[in-house]
Structure 1
Amino acid sequence: MPAPERIPARRVSDRDLALLARGELRVQGQIRDASNAVLLCTVTYEGREARCVYKPVRGERPLWDFPDGTLAQREVAAYEVCEALGWGLVPPTVLRDGPYGEGMCQLWIDGPAEAAVSSEAAEAAEDAEDMETAEDAEDPVTGRLLALVDAEEPAEGWKAIGFAEVEEGRTALLVHADDPRLRRLAVLDAVINNGDRKGGHLLVDPEGRLYGIDHGVTFNVEDKLRTLLWGWAGEPLTDEAADALEGLRERLRDGEPLAVRLGELITGAELEAVRERVAALLKTGRHREPSGEWPAIPWPPI
């Protein structure tokens, strides 16, 4: 059975957004393992201070399938769409000027990485002797969201992603939690056409709220959906998801504030593609399935 939802979404206040958008940014360091420039900062405004991530446009590496200098805008657009769905799965995110020019600024989420991704999965099970069994995997709500297990079928409360080779001649099953938070994220990714939903992009804060980060490669007109969250592929959408998508469809109509805002962040063709993806999800009433025309799972998966 799906894990019960116990943690409400974090409510974003105008003060949070004002802090990010207007506060003084001070660079504390650089996150070295990121593919683009990612700076850890503090932001201070009207007596409040928080940690945040600042990704300047000038630090973006060119991609063959996305226009140069647009990843920061896409991250903000992903936040705006998620807020319109009402799910609070993306940390507060703004576009602003900073020490190295315009860039994306996003609230830092505290939380241990091991709360979301098992060490075995993160290391691609290099040490196969430490592999979990399906029965040993932790509770999906309070523990891990991804695991690599020595089993043919997922245990109760888990969904199969696929088999991975862990050593020559031996495979293991990669699974994700059958968790309502992840299920919402799977719908969001289908809407924004997320081309890179890896396990390392899942964060759980100390209160147990789930967040997805790194939404730069999104909103392409062509089908680019690559994700680890295929466990519900082809299954009916929840009533909640269908209602949220209906509300999003209304907000995407010409002249609506969300449509106007997205028109400032992505191209007109990309905005129309968002509308088409929402309409397709509502028409089928089911979670997306891999198209077969594009690698379905990002690599590396973590």
Structure 2
Amino acid sequence: MSAPERIPPRSVTSAELLAEGELTVRGRIREASNAALYCTVTYEGQEAACVYKPVAGERPLWDFPDGTLAQREVAAYEVSEATGWRLVPPTVLRDGPYGEGMCQLWIEGQPGAELLALVDGEEPEDGWKAIGFAEVGDGRTALLVHADDERLRRLSVLDAVINNADRKGGHLLPADGNRLYGIDHGVTFNAENKLRTLLWGWAGEPLTAEAIEVLTTLRATLGKDGELARRLSPLITPTELDATRARVETLLTSGKHPEPTGDWPPIPWPPV
């Protein structure tokens, strides 16, 4: 009798692993302002590290409805996927040991990648874009700059679409394969302009042809019968969805990266 045919294990996507796997809490990420738990998730013989942020651990904010930050993190992932840039790690909304929350694939950042710097002088060197001046002690100031990097430029466009109110340096994760991820998207999608970011280096400059193409695709899929609109509808309010459509339209009409309006502090604090 011949041996039975061995069936190879089924390939499980990261999103499926996060959504369906058994979630085990391993520790708490203490630097986070809201409850953020380091976990492992296991499903059909596969395991990965992840971050679980339960809704019950969210601190109330004056300008965002209570208990909505996890949904906004998932919404940011959905928009990122729709761009094709895949700038946000796989993220799902699921039940966990402390109730419903956001579960996101853990990304190990590259420790040596330099994306931000403080430099002397009035203008950045080649390969860098100016953000603004910062106090560095003893009455001295230095120029804060970020890398003139196409990955950051894409992320700046994504932030403009999702109205990210908290793009700090610590939320940038360079990873293997020349990848760059952005994390911590709980304060996004507000209907009012809340854009606060360190990525102002391209402010007022023309959008790239790639960005225009991506925004045109977003405009179509955000239509009332569009796939992205369908995915966002359970996660943000109808008013916030309309505001997202309007931001995409504004970017396409202007053809430029947004500039600070002066109505809202343009850089998050602390910036890193």
Deviation at 1:190, TM superposition (A): 0.3
Q: What is the CA-CA distance between 1:101 and the residue it aligns to?
A: 0.5
Length-normalised TM-score, structure 2: 0.95
**Cα distance in 2 for residues equivalent to 1:108 and 1:235:** 33
Instruction: Quote how far apart the aligned CAs of 1:165 are.
Output: 1.0
Residues of 1 paired with 2:139 and 2:100: CA distance? Answer: 49
2:257 counterpart of 1:287? yes
Amino acid at match of 2:42: T
Partners of 1:18 and 1:292 in 2: CA distance: 42
- CA apart distance, 1:87: 0.4
Q: Does 1:153 align with 2:123?
A: yes
Structure 1 length-normalised TM? 0.85
Following superposition, the deviation at residue 208 of structure 1 comes to 2.8
Out of 102, 105, 109, which is 1:104 matched to? 102
Q: How many residues align?
A: 262
Counterparts of 1:96-135 in structure 2, within 5 Å, are 96-112=94-110, 114-115=111-112
Q: Deviations over 1:175-227 (max 9, x none)?
A: 00000000000000000000000000000113331000000000000000000
Runs of 4+ in 1 over 2 A off after TM superposition: none
Partner of 1:203: 173
Cα shift at 1:83: 0.5
User: Which moves more between the two structures, 254-263 or 59-68?
Assistant: 254-263
Alpha-carbon distance in structure 1 between the residues aligned to 2:211 and 2:12? 26
Which consecutive unaligned segments of at least 5 residues does structure 1 have? Answer: 1-12, 116-142
- Counterpart of 2:38 in structure 1: which amino acid? L
**Equivalence for 1:21:** 19
Aligned partner letter, 1:277 = R
Match of 1:74 in 2: 72
* 1:229-267 superposed Cα distances (whole Å, 9 cap, x missing partner): 000000000000000000000000012221011110000
Q: Which among 23, 40, 43 is matched to residue 41 of structure 2?
A: 43
Stretches of structure 2 that go unaligned for 5 or more consecutive residues are 1-10
Tell me the distance in 1 between the aligned counterparts of 2:153 and 2:78. Answer: 19
Aligned partner letter, 1:166: V
Please name the residue that 2:239 is paired with.
Answer: 269
User: Given the alignment, which residue of 89, 100, 104 partners 1:91?
Assistant: 89
Aligned match for 1:236, one of 206, 223, 226 = 206
In structure 2, distance between residues paired with 1:246 and 1:284: 13
Query: Could you say which residue in structure 2 is the equivalent of 1:126?
Result: none
> 2:84 & 2:176 partners in 1: Cα distance?
21
Q: Deviations over 1:43-78 (max 9, x none)?
A: 000110000000000000000000000000000000
1:245 aligns with 2:215: yes
Aligned partner of 1:237: which letter? L
- 1:120-199 alignment runs, 5 A limit: 143-199=113-169
Percent of residue pairs identical:
73
- Residue in 1 aligned with 2:229? 259
Alignment partner of 2:190 out of 208, 211, 220: 220
Amino acid at match of 1:252: L
The amino acid of 1:84's aligned partner reads A
Amino acid at match of 2:123: E
Cα RMSD (Å): 1.0
- Deviation of 1:169 after TM superposition, in Å, equals 2.4
Q: Secondary structure at the match of 1:210?
A: strand
Whole-angstrom distance in 2 between the partners of 1:246 and 1:14: 31
Report the CA distance between 1:168 and its aligned residue.
3.0
Mapped to 1, the partners of 2:121 and 2:19 lie a distance apart of 48
